[in-house]
Amino acid sequence: MTRLSVNINKIATLRNSRGGTMPSVTEAAIRCQQFGAEGITIHPRPDERHIRYNDARELKSLVTTEFNIEGYPDPRLIGLVLEVLPQQVTLVPDSPSAITSNAGWNTIKHRDFLKEVVAKFQKAGIRVSLFVGTEPEMIEGAALVGADRVELYTEPYATEFPSNPEKAILPFIKAAQSAEKYGLGLNAGHDLSLENLRYFDQHIPNLLEVSIGHALIADALYLGLEETIRRYRECLK
């Protein structure tokens, strides 16, 4: 069964909009795990507009499933990850001004940089996943820099899914085959939802984990957090 990691950034966005402590990011993480999530994902950004760096420190002892920290590996994030020591770090190529992740790594162009960062995290015992598109050469590049996994950027799939599911899924099936060829574990995330998740999971071989935040938290406004997590996990059976 593919594991569900819940990205709780949107909880932090709501909290920060009033400048207080409600809703609680830590309580959200605890509840998500109680309700069946198999991981918690956070993506701190330099301006701390949602998840704050101190949130990561507070969550360290509360995440009893899998803790996944995403982000661009600038010196500050590298220091945070090495301090907190999550089970997994997912490296993304976002600029500081990016609203959300919108592309995968060029693992060829950034080979030397990624190789150094990957080795640094692995030395600390942290599994490293690289956020990539479906291009076989980028997946091969992830293997060449020593990554343990790749996380497929699934927004193109989500965009095309309503009109043509078969066409939408095809590049991702091929990408999954490439990941297997190069000995990489496979994660996926970005714009996966109750509408498109089941189809994705049914067609992608060897999918280990999906990271879902925006759609899941939006659904929870209508369905409640417990029922929402139950429905997402049902899509992954």
The rounded Cα 214 to chain-centroid distance in angstroms is 11
Selecting among 50, 66, 70, 151, the annotated active-site residue is 70
Selecting among 43, 66, 151, 209, the annotated active-site residue is 43
Q: Is 190 a catalytic residue?
A: yes
Q: Is 70 a catalytic residue?
A: yes
| Distance separating alpha carbons of residues 97 and 167, to the nearest angstrom | 32
| Distance separating alpha carbons of residues 126 and 117, to the nearest angstrom | 11
Selecting among 50, 66, 151, 190, the annotated active-site residue is 190
Q: In whole angstroms, how far apart are CA 137 and each of 89, 97, 113?
A: 22, 27, 17
211 Cβ partners below 8 Å, 6+ apart? 5, 6, 7, 39, 41, 68, 70, 90, 151, 187, 188, 189
**Catalytic residue numbers?**
43, 70, 190
